[in-house]
Amino acid sequence: MSRHRALVIGACIAVAVLSACQRDADPTSGLAWAYPHGPTSTFGQPLGPGPFRVPDSALVLTRAQLDGAKGPIDWHPDDHPAAPAVVGGPARAGLTPCGECHLLNGAGFPASADLAGLPADYIVAQVTAFRTGARRSANAGQPNTAEMIKVANAVAPAELQQAAAYFAHLPRSRWVRAVETPRAPRTFPDQFGWLNRAPGGGSELVGDRIVELSDDLPRMMIGDDHVVLTDYVPPGAVERGRRVAAAGGGAGTPCQACHGASLGGAGAVPPLSGRPAGYIARTLWDIRTGARRDPGAAPMQAVSQWLTASQIRDVSAYLASLRP
Ligand code: HEC
Ligand code: HEC
C-alpha cells in the first residue's frame, strides 16, 4: 500500500470514528420503527372481482375500469378542485401522478406524507431538495424515499408549480388519529415502507414505538382518500409530547415560536398539527442526522440536535393528536 493511500485510509477512519461519536452508529437507531421496510409488498396484490365502491361516493367501478385507470381514482370529486394532470393523471412516461401516493385530497398514504395546505414554496423547495440530493433518508435506500426521489427527478418545473399550487390550496382535514395504548395490532413491514396488518390478526406490545396503520389499507390502495390513519402510541406520549413542544426540547425555543401558536404553520414554515406521526418522526430524524439538509432546514437542524429519539416519538404523537 502506498503511503498516500494509507494516509487517506487513516484519515477516513478518523472521520468515521469522529462521526460515529457525534452521531449514532446505526443511522436510524432509536427510531428504527419510523423506517419500516420488508422483503415483500402487498401493493398490487390481487383485488377481488369487484364491483368496487367506497363510502361517501356514488362511483361504482368494475375490475376492468380499476385495472385500466391511468391515475388515482377520483372517488370524492366534490372534496377538491379539478386536479392538474401531474397530480390526477393520466400518468406520463416515467412520472407517477402525485395523487397516487399523496391522494387527491393530499391526506397522504402510509409511508408518504400529507401535502394538503403546505405552503406552495415549501413544496417546491422540498421536491427540489429530493432532486438535488439535499434531502435523503437517514436510512440509505429507504424505499419510500427512493420513490419520491424518482418523482423529483422526473417532474418538470412547470408541472411542479401546478402540483404545489394544487396541494397548497387544499383544506387541511383530520385524517389521522392518535390512540394511546400498550398494545397495537400485530404488523409486518412492507417493501415500500409502511406497516401491514399481520395475517391472522392478534396484538403486540407498542413498547417504545409508534405503530402507524391505515384503518383500511385495501381501500386506500384503490385511492379512497377518506380512510383514516391510526397512530398507536405509548400511554402518556401525548402529554409528554405537549411538554416537549411547549419547552422546545433542549434547544429551549417552543415549536410554536416558528410553527404558529396552534402549530398550524406560519407563513413559509410548514404546519405540524394533525399530521401523521410516522412521517413527522422520520423527517425529524432525517433532519437531525443531516440526511435532510437543504438550506431552509437550517433552523430545524439546530432544534432537532437537542431532541432525543423518545422526545421525537412523543412530540410526533402529540402533533398527530391535534386538530389540523
Ligand atoms: C410513488 C409515490 C410518490 C409519488 C408519485 C409522489 N410522491 Fe411525494 N412523497 C412520497 C414519499 C414516500 C414521501 C416521503 C419521503 C420521506 O419521508 O422521506 C414524499 C414526500 C413528499 C414531500 C415532502 C413533504 C413535506 O412535508 O416535506 C413533498 C413536498 C412531495 N412528496 C411532493 C410531491 C409532488 C409535488 C408529487 C408529484 C409531482 C409527488 N410528491 C409524488 C411519495 C411519492
Ligand atoms: C427557529 C424556528 C423553528 C423552531 C423553533 C422549530 N421549527 Fe420546525 N421548522 C422550521 C422551519 C423553517 C422548517 C422548514 C424546514 C425546511 O424548509 O426544510 C421546519 C420544519 C419542521 C418539520 C418538517 C415538516 C415537514 O413537512 O416535513 C418538522 C417535523 C418540524 N419542523 C418540527 C418541529 C418541532 C417538533 C419543533 C419544536 C420541538 C420545531 N419544529 C421547532 C422552523 C422551526
Does residue 6 register a pLDDT over 50? no
Q: By percentage, how much of the chain surpasses pLDDT 90?
A: 85
Q: Give the model's confidence band at 86: pLDDT under 50 very low, under 70 low, under 90 confident, else very high.
A: very high
- Ligand 1 mean position, distance from CA 148 (Å): 5
Distance (Å, rounded) from C-alpha 105 to C-alpha 112? 13
Does residue 141 register a pLDDT over 70? yes
What rounded mean pLDDT belongs to the chain? 91
What ligand is nearest to the CA atom of residue 253? 2
Q: Give the model's confidence band at 7: pLDDT under 50 very low, under 70 low, under 90 confident, else very high.
A: very low
Does residue 168 register a pLDDT over 50? yes
Within 10 Å of residue 39's Cβ, how many Cβ atoms?
8
Can you tell me the mean pLDDT for 3-19?
Answer: 39
**From its phi and psi, is residue 294 left (phi > 0), alpha (psi between -120 and 50) or beta?**
beta
Which cell numbers hold the place of 300?
A: 430545524
Among residues 282, 290, 245, the alpha carbon closest in space to that of 263 is found at 245
Does residue 243 register a pLDDT over 90? yes
Distance (Å, rounded) from C-alpha 127 to C-alpha 58? 34
Distance (Å, rounded) from C-alpha 5 to C-alpha 141? 29
Q: What is the pLDDT of residue 85?
A: 97
Q: What is the pLDDT of residue 268?
A: 94
Contact of 201 with 185, CB cutoff 8 Å: yes
Distance (Å, rounded) from C-alpha 160 to C-alpha 124? 7
Can you tell me the mean pLDDT for 2-17?
Answer: 39
Among residues 310, 311, 290, 312, the alpha carbon closest in space to that of 301 is found at 290
Residue owning the nearest CA to atom 36 of ligand 2: 255
- Ligand 2 mean position, distance from CA 107 (Å): 19
Q: Give the model's confidence band at 100: pLDDT under 50 very low, under 70 low, under 90 confident, else very high.
A: very high
Higher-confidence position of 20 and 83: 83
Q: What is the pLDDT of residue 93?
A: 87
- Ligand 2 mean position, distance from CA 270 (Å): 7
Q: What is the pLDDT of residue 92?
A: 87
Q: Which atom of ligand 1 is found nearest the CA of 111? A: 12
Q: What is the pLDDT of residue 195?
A: 97
Can you tell me the mean pLDDT for 104-130?
Answer: 97
Contact of 176 with 226, CB cutoff 8 Å: no
**From its phi and psi, is residue 257 left (phi > 0), alpha (psi between -120 and 50) or beta?**
alpha
User: 136-158 in b/e burial notation, b at 16+ Cβ within 10 A?
Assistant: bbbbeebbbbebbbebbeebeee
Does residue 20 register a pLDDT over 50? no
Contact of 263 with 203, CB cutoff 8 Å: no
